[in-house]
Structure 1
Amino acid sequence: MWKSVADHVGIAIQQAQIYQENQLKAQREATLNQFTQKIRSSLDLEQIFSTATQGISQLLDVDLVEIQEYLPQRQVWLTVSQCSKHPNLSSPLGAETPDADNEINRKIKNLEVVRINNSCNLNLEDSCHGLLVPLRFQNRLWGKLCLIKIDSDYQWSDGAVTLVQSMAEQLAIAIQQGQLYQRLANLNTDLERQVLERTQQLRERIQELQRLNMLKDDFLSTVSHELRTPLSNMKMAIQMLKIAPESQRRQRYTEILESECYREIELINDLLDLQRLETASYQVSRTVVDLKIWLHQIIDSFCSRIQAQQQILKLTLSDNLPSVLIDKTSFGRIVTELFNNACKYTPANRQIILEFFYQNNQDLVGSYTVPKVIFKISNQAEIADTELPHIFDKFYRIPNADPWKRGGTGLGLALVKELVKQLDGIIQVESSQRWTTFTVQIPAPQGSELNGHDNSLTIKF
């Protein structure tokens, strides 16, 4: 009888233990499901970290939960989230702990769980017990989950460790998903930025192509007109020569023929010169030129025009401009084109200022610069800021800026820019306060020294 009772009692105890184990198992599963649902509710990493530490602290009733990321390149553990019930256990977010070479860290790197009992030395009445669980992605260490419980009678049971390991696995999955989402978000942001940049570049390119197309159409129209006008005048002059009864009239028509023929040739030459300059087939031929004599010859050729347009010319030349080695044709074309532009865009009773200098610093101690001719031409006519970047473009003409209605092809400044480039020079332009100034610097060696006396001349017609 007693044996039968003992058997029944044993069976009852065994059933009670099984029931208790099932209850604990169900409780752990419920706790794990609750934890998993919370951390899976967001893809934001900071939200995942915060939810995980707070959730583990509440569900397991521990005093500290901390998530640390391992940064192998810097050999540190970075605290990314923390939930603490005791001030002595807290540390600032972003704190970095050096990766010490000890048994605990070696076990974590081997993806092993570490239990630490009676380990704290924080002036607490009760001892603390730690649990370190690695956070891993496919056997690769990401970081660790740190738990501390302050209780002298507490021990980390196998069931508790198993539950924390399961939580760590779910947390690692959530972190991996959060990082993937973050990378995708960054890629999407970068892609959107690139699309916007490419769209803007394409829009600007289309606008530039439209502008160039308009310039081309305008150029073709202008060139057609410029080529046709001299031909029409020549045709008319030829017809008038046939019927002109007086030799004086025939002479006049002959002069018209010569003038229009020269005009036609000049336009064609401009087009051919620009083409040669752009294809680098333009030949530079340097000869010795007496600047003072040569410049006066160029300036004299404009005097009648300046007189007819009632403009004021102020000329400043260095007294002893030397003879220099320079491409006379190219430099003459540069000076002539810029002088012509100044006359073309300057109204009556306004000033045109020409300045010529020669800079030679080879005698300065410890210094040497290439000797160069410096030419400045200023006129009382301002170029709008919106037009200034385009004045050296081929075929470009500033609209409604020609008070003398002389017209043109828009090739002059484009030729000047290319000629200056061929001569290894520099051209600059600035326009403000109703003045425009072009400055040209051309390297030009010479054999005589330059004295610094200036001679200023003002001419008014």
Structure 2
Amino acid sequence: MTSVAVPCREHHARAFQSSPSAIVVTTLATGRILEANESFSQLTGYRHGELLGRTTAELGLWHHPDDRAFMVAQLQTHGHLRNVEFAFRTKDDRIAIGLFSAELLAWDGEPALIATVHDITEYKQVQNQLKAALERDRLLGEIALRIRRSLELSEILATTTAEVRQVLAVDRVFVGWRDEKTDEGRIAAESCDPRFPSMRHWVFPADEVCAATAMFTTDRAIAINDAEHSDLFRDDADFREAFCVRAVLIAPIWQGGRFLGVLGVHQCSEPRHWQPYEVELLEKLATQVAIAMHQAQLYQQVCGLNGTLEQQVRERTDQLQQRLAELQELSELKDFFLQAVTHDLRTPIVGMQLLLNNLLAKHPPEETIALPRAVVERLRRSSGQQLEMLERLLDSHALEVGAAALHCEAVGLSELAAAVVSDFQPTLAQNEATVQVHLAADLPTVWADPLQLRRGLENLVTNALKHNPPGLTLTLTTGREGPQVRCEVTDDGVGLENVEALFERYVRGKGSRYQAGLGLGLYLCRQIVEAHGGQIGAHSEPGAGAQFWFGLPIAHG
């Protein structure tokens, strides 16, 4: 330990006492005050007589008692202490900050220290305020960046409430919104201490929203330190108690001169004296929220325009693709139709041509030719086939474009089916086919064109005969099924593949090799049934026969 000899007290007493710096001499071991000047008394608030003979611990001068032990350790290690900040407590219990410098000395042979203290409390306060302001500006910038970095409004509001609650250390932060349709107030976002109830689903009546809106004529915030004794909450005791509102700070959110809502802060645990910097921070954040909201709205508008444009492009592309597919299908149908017409109409014409050529070759030019009955029958049959094909072409076109007029009346489906079976007896015999009928009696009538309906049923029977070898067994059934009357034509023939496609134009089953045709029979059936508001369908498997059915709505009245 180094020591400094005590100078002559008489020589330095005046300088010691008149020094503007606070100086104190204490014992090294206990901190008992041996001497202190007037500046030290003014600094601590104790009179000279109250200081002498008492320890710093007894007076409670050290704000942190461990600070003295630290100072002594530094002195014993280095022999001096230079400009170290320590907090100390004054007589009136005020905490001050001092800049300490100290050295060891011997006082009447006893180890002691002499310390000089400069009060830097105001300097530290200004410094802390400046640091706090810089920190607030930094936080404001970071929050604003995070807010404006997002273009999703819900994310912007959630970020705002969470960040403000953390920075201001409050119990609840919320964004209140005015519903433009009802003028009611709703909570758009909230960050709340779990110890207190949430306002998320609270709805403010329109009259309260209008009254609250009238309070905001500028972008200045409203601060209420004690909500219980505030005139603004005089009539809102129920709300205040329900959500534990003790102090309030609210900043308006404006956009282009239009009031949108508020950025609000609640202290729920106790009243709170809002500091000017807290008010300013909330006002600035409300402005940032308004800017971010405007950006989000612009982004949504752009997305909407992009989405509309993309949708229009997709729709137009789909239309073009559909049109292209239709043109392709039409081209394929045209090619198929030409092939079918060429083949199916050419066959009977070629047969007639060969027959006539043979007759002409057998007889001289001047001789009259007598035609045998068998030849006439073949000619009649060939011309009938050609006429039937042409009529089906005309009928399918008329039904498709809606040009075929339906002459509807009440029709009994069982009676119509019985008539078709009776008329088809010669054709059935020619094809060595048998038919079983199960026709329900007393069926409700259907409202239909009897000629067209008969034609559709005939096509189903004809289709079964054409696409199967001789010896077929047909079953014709009628009955009621819910609000419809149903007719079924079932056979035990070779069966069909892809039966649903058979109802399209120019489609023929594999069994069509037994008869010629354009593939319009089942297509006409579908057109006729659908023209009457009914449904048609089929079920078949190769080798297991086929079942065709149609249903028509029951006639009313």
* Residue in structure 2 matching 1:235, options 345, 353, 377: 353
* Residue in structure 2 matching 1:265, options 362, 380, 387: 387
Answering whether residue 290 of structure 2 is matched by residue 172 of structure 1, we say yes
Across the aligned residues of Structure 1 and Structure 2, the Cα RMSD in angstroms comes to 4.6
- Distance in 2, Cα, partners of 1:175 & 1:140: 13
Partner of 1:301: 426
Partner of 1:79: 187
Cα 1:415–1:64 shift into 2, 3 Å = closer
- Distance in 2, Cα, partners of 1:316 & 1:160: 92
User: Higher RCO, 1 or 2 (CA under 8 Å, sep at least 6)?
Assistant: 1
**Do the aligned residues in 1 keep the contact of 2:173 with 2:264 (CA within 8 Å)?**
yes
Partner of 1:147: 265
Identical positions, percent:
25
Partner of 2:462: 340
* Residue in structure 2 matching 1:355, options 459, 470, 477: 477
TM-score between both structures, scaled by the size of structure 1: 0.69
Unaligned stretches of 5+ residues in structure 1: 1-15, 360-368, 446-461
Deviates more, 1:292-301 or 1:24-33: 24-33
TM-score between both structures, scaled by the size of structure 2: 0.59
Partner of 1:3: none
**Do the aligned residues in 1 keep the contact of 2:431 with 2:470 (CA within 8 Å)?**
no
Partner of 1:430: 538
- Distance in 1, Cα, partners of 2:155 & 2:533: 63
Cα 1:419–1:127 shift into 2, 3 Å = closer
**Do the aligned residues in 2 keep the contact of 1:70 with 1:77 (CA within 8 Å)?**
yes
Partner of 1:415: 524
**Which residue identity does 1:395 align to in structure 2?**
Y
**Which residue identity does 1:376 align to in structure 2?**
E
* Residue in structure 1 matching 2:221, options 110, 113, 117: 113
**Do the aligned residues in 1 keep the contact of 2:348 with 2:382 (CA within 8 Å)?**
yes
- Distance in 1, Cα, partners of 2:439 & 2:281: 96
Cα 1:118–1:329 shift into 2, 3 Å = closer
Alignment of 1:359-398 (within 5 A): 375-380=487-492, 382-384=495-497, 386-388=498-500, 390-398=501-509
- Distance in 1, Cα, partners of 2:491 & 2:518: 21
- Distance in 2, Cα, partners of 1:148 & 1:354: 83
Pairwise CA distance, 1:241 = 0.7
Cα 1:373–1:294 shift into 2, 3 Å = farther
**Do the aligned residues in 2 keep the contact of 1:79 with 1:93 (CA within 8 Å)?**
yes
Partner of 2:11: none
Pairwise CA distance, 1:99 = 4.7
Pairwise CA distance, 1:353 = 0.7
Unaligned stretches of 5+ residues in structure 2: 1-122, 229-236, 364-368
- Distance in 2, Cα, partners of 1:244 & 1:235: 14
Pairwise CA distance, 1:339 = 1.2
Per-residue CA shift, 1:235-286, capped at 9, x if unaligned? 11111111337x9985544443332222222222333344444452558598
- Distance in 2, Cα, partners of 1:65 & 1:443: 67
- Distance in 2, Cα, partners of 1:63 & 1:288: 81
Per-residue CA shift, 1:208-256, capped at 9, x if unaligned? 44233312221121012222222211111111111337x9985544443
The number of residue pairs the alignment matches comes to 402
**Do the aligned residues in 1 keep the contact of 2:153 with 2:296 (CA within 8 Å)?**
yes
Cα 1:110–1:213 shift into 2, 3 Å = farther
Cα 1:219–1:31 shift into 2, 3 Å = same
Pairwise CA distance, 1:195 = 5.2
Answering whether residue 202 of structure 2 is matched by residue 91 of structure 1, we say no
